Structure 1
Amino acid sequence: MPFISICIPAYKRSQYLERLLKSIVIQQFHDFEVIVSDDSPDDEVKNLCDAYRDQLPLTYHKNENSLGTPVNWNAAISLAKGQWIKLMHDDDWFAGPAALQQFADCAKEYPDAFLFSAYTNVYETSGKTKNIFPEKFRLTQADQEPSILVAKNFIGPPSVTMHKNDGKYAYDPALKWLVDIDMYRRRMEHDKLVYIGQPVVHVYISKSQVTAYTKNVAAVEIPEHFHFLNKMGIDKLKNILVYDYNWRFFRNFNIRDIEQIKDYGYEGEVHPVLKSMIVAQSKIPRRLLAKGLISKLLMTTHFITHKRLIK
């Protein structure tokens, strides 16, 4: 049984996948397997994997029908035999030869942990890079309430995480925009969050990614928002960071009437406190609500006067 299963959900883009495979070949840590679950309509990914079989302990699986995101993520993970799961998107890659060793060392020190590392964003259009580190405040608060991740995903994309291969959780196929946060939140409720403070993964930022074409799309984000909130539990609104996220969500999508939510595909119940948020914002001129400080003060007042109603 390998220590780490590097699980790669792939779709076309073999030039990016090869960059990832090359970064795995040079790793100093060798107790791993590589699994590629291929959603591609042709054999370009298969041919590339065949070319790396002599260099890597690689298992290739071709999906009969394209599964899409995140079902293909789950498919790759389901094939894993390792003790730990290291999901890697096919366009991300390890920053250096010691990257996997750092994850492995951390896993051995913290066997009941959910691990994540700092990372480097690499921007497709400009070629520029930026190192991303979490705020200490967020790390501290997350230990007390994992749901604050919805306010700000300080962890990052799945490629910077590693978790036990315990079969307890799968990525929710009903989610696209919040799919990673949903998984992290569930993990963090039972596993200790452990942070590797060095950027050991390169994360490629391009317009072709799912997050790029789902961001700020009301028909995607609004139904997801309520699906996620229902899974998380309305009681999480007692945390002001989660409350503030919901306030900003309604403000940013200019939701000023409950019927707008139904128009975007959500047919379920809306909690009275959330309804009250929408009504309160509808009475405030947009130009004032758009001012950050004013919005924050209004949100805080609403939180103080409505927190007792959250059950």
Structure 2
Amino acid sequence: MSDPVLISICIPAYKHIDFLERLLNSLTVQTFRNFEVVVTDDSPDDSVKNVCVQFQQLLHLRYSRNAVTLGTPENWNEGMRLAQGKWIKMIHDDDWLATENSLQRFADAIEAHPNAAFFFCAYRNNWIGSGRTKDVAINSFYYKELLKQPAVLFSGNMVGPPSVVLHRNDKTFFYDNRVKWVVDIDFYIRYLKTTTAVFIPEVLVNVGMGEHQVTQDCFRKRPVEIPENFYLLGKTGITVLKNMLVYDAWWRLMRNLEIRFEQEIRESGYSGPIHQVIGSMIRWQNRLPRFVLNNGLFSKISMFVHYCLHRNQLRP
């Protein structure tokens, strides 16, 4: 390429060659061409390498086998370190671009918002096996809340997986390799403290859904969710709970993991400080009948009352 690369497509790969071929095929048909592809390979064999060789005549593709297995998310970071484009578009190997104009839409957004450094798009979840699909897009309420306080991502990942995100290649922000469950929202929260997120309300990415994903191994598991959420809270600061969406997220975390005593937090692997408001939240829930907590309306009312009584205690 004679022009500087605008977008680096970073693909952290691991053995899923059928998925990888689908992704690379979706890249070959893109109408926008000023991009490179960087594949960082954690596989123990040459299967991914062999696929990449087949596409090197069709794409500006650079392949790199990791000397040691890096795992999630360090393999993601390796691709970002090798990227030469002005922008980074990570795409996991089980995801793929939705249309031939997907990269053009991202490029158009860059041009339309020259001061922005973070973009994300609507996407389509695709369930492996069943063939079921569902389009996902942030609604106007949550988008406004995200712009005001990125920590609302505690309440749910309304941005989406890394495959739907485009951000500047500033060699400053990387994914925290100390976490897996909250790794994407941690990255987004940190990044969005420095810039405004721009949403592209068009399905540009297909996201593969299946049991092979890391998140499936972490969901509703105390030894994963408890330490990682407290770790992230330590990075954001306790005052983010003044946002009711964040407060409700922590209320639901304690409820859904059925935490009844602070000792269960310790037994889940977290040894740091537990703020008095979270301790009170646990005790409050412990006094409520389980059928009340499991009822969405009653649970919300209980959370709101607790929030009103304890909000002023949320000091650094």
CA distance in 1, matches of 2:55, 2:147: 41
CA distance in 1, matches of 2:59, 2:129: 31
The alpha-carbon deviation at position 65 of structure 1 amounts to: 1.0
SS, match of residue 81 in structure 1: coil
Match of 1:217 among 215, 218, 221: 221
The alpha-carbon deviation at position 269 of structure 1 amounts to: 0.6
Aligned length: 311
For 1:109-258, list aligned pairs within 5 A: 109-111=112-114, 112-258=116-262
Partner of 2:277: 273
Partner of 2:27: 24
Partner of 1:42: 45
Counterpart of 1:218, as a letter, is R
Percentage of identical aligned residues: 46
Structure 1 residues 255-296: Cα deviation after superposition (integer angstroms, max 9, x where no partner): 010110111100001001101101111111112111111111
CA distance in 1, matches of 2:239, 2:14: 39
The alpha-carbon deviation at position 131 of structure 1 amounts to: 1.0
CA distance in 2, matches of 1:9, 1:61: 10
Counterpart of 1:91, as a letter, is D
SS, match of residue 24 in structure 1: helix
Partner of 1:310: 314
Query: 4+ runs of 1 displaced by more than 2 Å?
Result: none
Counterpart of 2:107, as a letter, is A
CA distance in 2, matches of 1:238, 1:54: 54
1:77 aligns with 2:80: yes
Partner of 2:293: 289
SS, match of residue 157 in structure 2: coil
CA distance in 1, matches of 2:299, 2:132: 33
The CA RMSD measured in Å over matched residues stands at 0.8
TM-score by length of 1: 0.99
Match of 1:259 among 260, 263, 280: 263
The alpha-carbon deviation at position 154 of structure 1 amounts to: 1.1
Point out the more displaced range, 280-289 or 259-268. Answer: 280-289
Counterpart of 1:199, as a letter, is V
Equivalent residues of 2:145, 2:152 under 8 A apart: yes
Structure 1 residues 187-231: Cα deviation after superposition (integer angstroms, max 9, x where no partner): 111111111111010000011000111111111111111001111
The alpha-carbon deviation at position 153 of structure 1 amounts to: 1.1
Equivalent residues of 2:221, 2:257 under 8 A apart: no
Task: Structure 1 unaligned segments of length 5 or more: list them.
Answer: none
Counterpart of 2:136, as a letter, is I
Structure 1 residues 99-153: Cα deviation after superposition (integer angstroms, max 9, x where no partner): 0000011012223231000011111031111111111100011111111011021
TM-score by length of 2: 0.97
1:55 aligns with 2:58: yes
CA distance in 2, matches of 1:255, 1:184: 27
Point out the more displaced range, 232-241 or 285-294. Answer: 285-294
Task: Structure 2 unaligned segments of length 5 or more: list them.
Answer: none
Counterpart of 1:192, as a letter, is T
